Amino acid sequence: MAQKNNFQYSIRKYTPSDEHAVTALFRNGILEHVYPAFFKAMSHPDHVGVALSISMAGYVLGGSSYFQALLFGGAWAGLIYFCCHDIYERYMLRRLSTDMADIQANYLDNPDNAFWVAEEEVNGQSKVVGMVAVTGKRGGEVTGGERYDELNGGVMGAAPEMARDAGDGSYGELPHMVVSFACRRKGLGSQLTQKALDFCKERGYSCLALDTSSPQTAAASLYQKLGFVQTATHSNTHANRWFSKLARINVMRMEKFI
């Protein structure tokens, strides 16, 4: 049964008719991190120093040309923006071609997985404004070190510390949690996350784990308020390693014991 809340949202299982809305929500939700990542990277002292040095070189080489200085500095900023955009776009395209390509088969047809959407009534019509998914990892799948995630299409980090230290090692992963911009700071993100936690508890998972990137400060703050703790951090974004270094994007592993 759909769950109601004070903001007239309802949370229900995904249906095939949601595909277009969910895909659009996912695309926008991932690509909106590009600008925060860019501004965060450019504000780093190392990048500020490089930008000033390159601008000065342009000024000198251009014969005291302010235009040349701006051009050289802008080229450096453009490179940093390209790196940030490439990282998030590659992640988005990879997920759209793997687990998001067939949500019914990858989530709903597997009792250990789940996918929900949140709806809001807009002018008498329902609009998808949020989504959350869970993939279950049973004890036999949990190993130390890195592991291969077939849904994600790549190598992921180590299994959660909490899963290895409790029960049979079964745990849940939170691969997706997106709330539309207009519906944020209204409790919807907390409700979607709680939905995932409740599912994990019903399935007997020892913990819920997720990865979030360093520019997603609002998301990290939300998870911390809900009791998640950061257990690891790494710079493997599955993009070109030099792009990751220039963008200065880290991936934070967060877990919550259930």
DSSP string, 89-134: HHHHHHHHTTGGG-HIIIIITSTT-EEEEEEEEETTEEEEEEEEEE
The per-residue pLDDT for 141 is 54
Nearest CA among 42, 50, 37 for reference residue 84: 37
Rounded to an integer, what distance in angstroms lies between the CA atom of residue 117 and that of residue 22?
8
The per-residue pLDDT for 144 is 43
In the 8-state DSSP scheme, what is residue 144? S
**What tens digit of pLDDT does each residue of 213-235 get?**
999 999 999 999 999 999 999 88
**What tens digit of pLDDT does each residue of 68-115 get?**
889 999 999 999 999 999 999 999 999 999 999 999 999 999 999 999
Rounded to an integer, what distance in angstroms lies between the CA atom of residue 240 and that of residue 86?
9
Q: By three-state DSSP, how is residue 175 classified?
A: strand
Which regions in the chain score pLDDT beneath 50?
A: 1-6, 142-157
The per-residue pLDDT for 101 is 96
The per-residue pLDDT for 148 is 37
Nearest CA among 117, 145, 80, 160 for reference residue 2: 117
The per-residue pLDDT for 158 is 55
What does the domain layout of the chain look like in residue ranges?
3-16+103-257, 34-95
Query: What are the CA-CA distances from residue 232 to residues 14, 41, 115 (Å)?
Result: 31, 21, 26
The per-residue pLDDT for 236 is 85
Query: Quick one: tokens of 19?
Result: 């595909």
The per-residue pLDDT for 167 is 60
| Number of helices (H), then strands (E), in the chain | 9, 10
The per-residue pLDDT for 165 is 55
Among positive and negative, which fits the CA dihedral 83, 86, 88, 90? negative
**What's CA 55's distance to the chain center, in Å?**
34
What does residue 84 show for φ and ψ, rounded to 5 degrees? -65, -45
The per-residue pLDDT for 50 is 92
DSSP string, 48-98: HHHHHHHHHHHHHHTTS-HHHHHHHHHHHHHHHHHHHHHHHHHHHHHHHTT
* CATH code of domain 3-16+103-257: 3.40.630.30
Answer yes or no: pTM beyond 0.85: no
